[in-house]
Structure 1
Amino acid sequence: MAGQQRVYRQRIRSTQSLKKIFRAMELIAASRIGKARDRVTAAAPYARALTRAVSAVATHAGVDHPLTTERPDARRVAILLVTSDRGMAGAYSASVLREGERLIQQVTDEGKEVALYVTGRRAVSFYSFRHREVAGQWTGSSDAPSAETAQEIADTLLQAFLAAPEDGGVGELHVVYTQFVNMVTQTPRVIRMLPLEVVEGVAAPGEDPLPLYEFEPSPEVVLDALLPRYIQSRIHSCLLQAAASELAARQRAMHTATENAEDLIRMYTRLANQARQSEITQEISEIVSGADALAAS
């Protein structure tokens, strides 16, 4: 019985240590989620303005640009997966990897080759363990992505898209990330970023009409300047959305883990008390039996 008590007391101490870690991680995520949401909100006006400018130029210029032209000769497809650098965020990274694997299977079934680009150590370790080639990887800033990181990713992907097919160029670019809806809901999304599609030439209901520009020196030069900035802005927005989703998922997961640790502590405490009570009862029984034996003799 004494051995059981020691085991239960040791489990209680180890669970209490884990509870402190879970609680600390929950508080850290809670302190960072506000800034992450503010960054998402702050980046939205620039992204909207840039999107309207690109839409207006592409609609009214009437020129073909490499970033808006389909490339049927290129049989490679670039896929960018946005995951986290650390775990303990529930199914956050697993959901993105699951969507990415579904997209990879779909592209493979179409007879195309996949060029995989990943952000976050979770995706790097996932594909390294399976000995699958990764064309590019970025780690170290999943919960606080910088504009410089987004610029580096955008430059790498644009270079791959503009390269010739015989040089390893890709014909499409897809991004798999997690959209931050609110603190409870984060949804994995798959978007095709390149080639760009102009779906309509008028503004959406409730918005101002698309502006008419005079192009100086030419529409081609304007598109050459705008489209790379647009891609960088879209990628940065995806990274910010993913960062907010990661922190929200980690806060929720660590809150649940803290509650589970408290339940384990209560259970082990009850079992330790039962073992102690059984030990006391056994000692009393042995004393009474010994006294009866002495009285009988």
Structure 2
Amino acid sequence: MGAQIREYRQRIRSVKATSKITRAMELMAASRVVKAQQAVRASTPYANAITRAVSALTYHSDVEHHFTHEHEDVQRAGVLVITSDRGLAGAYSSAILKETERLIGELLEDGKTPVLYLVGRKAISYFSFRHREYVASWEGFSEKPSFANAKEIGDRLLEDFETEQDSGPGIHEFHIVFTRFKSMVTQVPEIIRMLPIEVVEGVSQPAEGEMLAFYDFEPSAEEALDLLMPKYVRARIFNCLLQAAASELASRQRAMKSATDNAEELVKKFTRLANQARQAEITQEITEIVGGANALAEAK
């Protein structure tokens, strides 16, 4: 009985030590997610504005540009996968990897070969463990990405995108798989096609009595696209990295809060079991004392 009590007390100490760690991680994630949300709110308007600008430029010009041209026979499609560097964030990374596998399946069905670009140690370990090839990887900044990280990734994607198929990788299509941050309780895995850019502005017909805007480009539309596209790619990647960072921290906060709550419930459970074992031990001792006293009295 005493050994059982010691075991329960040891478990209580172990669970309490774990709950201190999970509680600390919850508070750290809660403090960091506020700054991450602010970064997302600050970068999203610019990313949306430059996307609309490039889309309008594409729609209102007759330039056939390689950044906007839809290739008829796409052999290889690039996939940028953004996951976390660390675990203990619930289903955050697994949801992204599941969405990536779905996209890879769709690309293979269309006769395209997926070319993987990985961000985050979780994605790297996932594909490395399965002996699946990837052409580039980045890690170490999933919780706090900088624009320099986005520029490095964007420059590599642009370099591969501009390479002709007969002389190199030849990627004529790029997708990003990331987690869009909507609120502290809602983060949604999402797939967007970054290149070639999809026209999202100018496709609707003008309202009655509304005149179509007339655009004149200085310098030429092709030169303007050459200048805008690197900025567009870097801005979109940076915004996706920030969205993913905020989603990771929010997921980690929820996961650690759940772990802390479960630890507290376990402490209550083991405390109750230890008290029951102690009461049973006391009852047994009293029974033995009374039984011994009765035996002595009968012997006299």
TM > 0.5 fold call: yes
Question: Structure 2 CA distance, aligned partners of 1:129 and 1:143?
Answer: 23
Moved more, 150-159 or 210-219: 210-219
Does 2:6 correspond to 1:6? Answer: yes
Does 2:234 correspond to 1:232? Answer: yes
Change (3 A) 1:211 1:84: farther
- Cα distance, 1:273 vs structure 2: 0.5
**Residue 177 of structure 2 corresponds to which residue in structure 1?**
176
Contact 2:63-2:222 within 8 A present in 1 as well: yes
Question: Structure 2 CA distance, aligned partners of 1:54 and 1:216?
Answer: 14
- Matched letter for residue 82 of structure 1: I
**Residue 52 of structure 2 corresponds to which residue in structure 1?**
52
1:139-192 C-alpha deviation (Å, 9 max, x unpaired): 111111110111111111111111121311112111111111111111110111
Alignment of 1:216-295 (within 5 A): 216-295=218-297
Question: Structure 1 CA distance, aligned partners of 2:155 and 2:171?
Answer: 14
- Matched letter for residue 185 of structure 2: V
- Cα distance, 1:292 vs structure 2: 2.3
1:186-224 C-alpha deviation (Å, 9 max, x unpaired): 111011111112244268999x99975543332211110
Does 2:187 correspond to 1:186? Answer: yes
1:9-51 C-alpha deviation (Å, 9 max, x unpaired): 0110010011111111111111011111111111122223212
SS at match of 1:280: helix
Change (3 A) 1:164 1:3: same
- Matched letter for residue 195 of structure 2: L
Change (3 A) 1:69 1:291: same
Alignment of 1:1-297 (within 5 A): 1-166=1-166, 167-201=168-202, 213-297=215-299
Change (3 A) 1:164 1:73: farther
Structure 1 unmatched ranges of 5 or more: none
- Cα distance, 1:79 vs structure 2: 0.7
- Matched letter for residue 298 of structure 2: A
- Cα distance, 1:53 vs structure 2: 2.1
- Matched letter for residue 274 of structure 1: Q
- Matched letter for residue 94 of structure 1: S
Question: Structure 2 CA distance, aligned partners of 1:210 and 1:188?
Answer: 37
Identity %: 56
SS at match of 2:239: helix
1:80-105 C-alpha deviation (Å, 9 max, x unpaired): 11111111111111111110011111
SS at match of 1:68: coil
Question: Structure 1 CA distance, aligned partners of 2:211 and 2:200?
Answer: 15
SS at match of 1:189: strand
Moved more, 166-175 or 145-154: 166-175
Question: Structure 1 CA distance, aligned partners of 2:34 and 2:195?
Answer: 31
Change (3 A) 1:212 1:53: farther
Question: Structure 2 CA distance, aligned partners of 1:93 and 1:160?
Answer: 26
- Matched letter for residue 83 of structure 2: T
CA RMSD of aligned residues (A): 2.0
Structure 2 unmatched ranges of 5 or more: none
Contact 1:202-1:210 within 8 A present in 2 as well: no
Moved more, 134-143 or 212-221: 212-221
